[in-house]
Amino acid sequence: MDPIIPPKKTAWRSFLIVILIIFLVEVILMGAFRLFLESDNIWIDVILDAGLLAFFQFPSLYYFMVRPLQREIEGHRLAENELRKAKELLEIANGEIQKSLEREQVLARTDGLTGLYNYRHFFELASREFSASQRYQRPLAIIIFDTDRFKQVNDTLGHLAGDKMLVKVAETVAGQMRSVDVLARYGGDEFIILLPETSAQQAFHIAERIRSVVAATPMGNIDTGQFFITLSIGVAEIWSDPLDHGIEQIVHRADQALYAAKQAGRDRVMIFQPG
């Protein structure tokens, strides 16, 4: 593409060219015509003068003024197209970055195997809910459960079958949750549930429903064959006397209740009892 000449420079050059053409036509060409072709008819002089000016001036104006302006307009149009394309590419890149950030945020708070919340994000949510429960003196309960004889499943059917079983358990339990409940993977084959506005007795009934539904749900696939598993579940609630100072205390009591359920024979729900 030809170089773009600035408009001010184009105007000055065109002006000088026109003056030069007028000078050449009037002084040289018309002078030569009058020298060799003497004529007393003024109209012939006027017509010839105008014709010669038009013949030389119009092409010069086009080449030195109109054409550079056309190039300038075309250059601006191309620049605008490039800017528009760059803007579109930037918007696409920003969209991809935003999606990538959202994916990273999701990965940072979810468990890679089950898709549930992970341990860290669960405690962030639970800590906020604990503070609200204490401030407004509302009930709050925690359920912790794990699968009975999970090691036996891994040893006999393999770790892949064990992982698929955990995914199935997570899906089954998630189907029993209320919209306000928070289910997360606690670690290994242990899961934890935060139940706002829920007492220990209310949480006990929810836990019993979870235990019975999971016990009736077939696990496995064509390769491993169907099998059934049971859950041991511990329940605890927030205390005001003595006053709990963090969600960790409730979790600890629920974990102790889970241990008591294991000791009592597995496949059962136990509420933490002090002493």
Angle between helices 67-109 and 7-23 in degrees, nearest 10: 170
DSSP state of 24: I
What is the helix, strand, coil percentage profile of the chain, to 5?
A: 65, 15, 25
Q: What pLDDT shows up at residue 76?
A: 81
Q: What pLDDT shows up at residue 30?
A: 61
Q: What pLDDT shows up at residue 92?
A: 82
Q: What pLDDT shows up at residue 108?
A: 76
Q: What pLDDT shows up at residue 79?
A: 85
Q: What pLDDT shows up at residue 36?
A: 60
Q: pLDDT (tens digit, 0 to 9) for every residue of the chain, 275 residues total?
A: 445 455 556 566 666 666 666 666 656 666 666 556 555 666 666 666 666 666 666 666 666 666 777 777 787 888 888 888 888 888 888 877 777 776 776 667 899 899 999 999 999 999 999 999 999 999 999 999 999 989 999 998 889 999 999 999 999 999 999 999 999 999 999 999 999 999 999 999 999 999 999 999 999 775 767 899 999 999 999 998 889 999 999 999 999 999 999 999 999 999 999 86
Q: What pLDDT shows up at residue 169?
A: 96
Residue of 146, 189, 244, 255 with catalytic role = 189
**For the structural domain made of 119-271, what CATH number should be given?**
3.30.70.270
Residue 189 appears among annotated catalytic residues: yes
Phi/psi at 235 (5° precision): -125, 140
192 and 229 Cβ atoms separated by less than 8 Å: no
Query: What pLDDT digit, counting tens, does each position of 167-176 carry?
Result: 999 999 999 9
pTM comes to 0.67
What is d(CA 154, CA 160) in angstroms, rounded to the nearest whole number? 8
Q: Is the dihedral of CA 153, 154, 157, 160 positive or negative?
A: positive
224 and 253 Cβ atoms separated by less than 8 Å: no
Q: What pLDDT shows up at residue 144?
A: 98
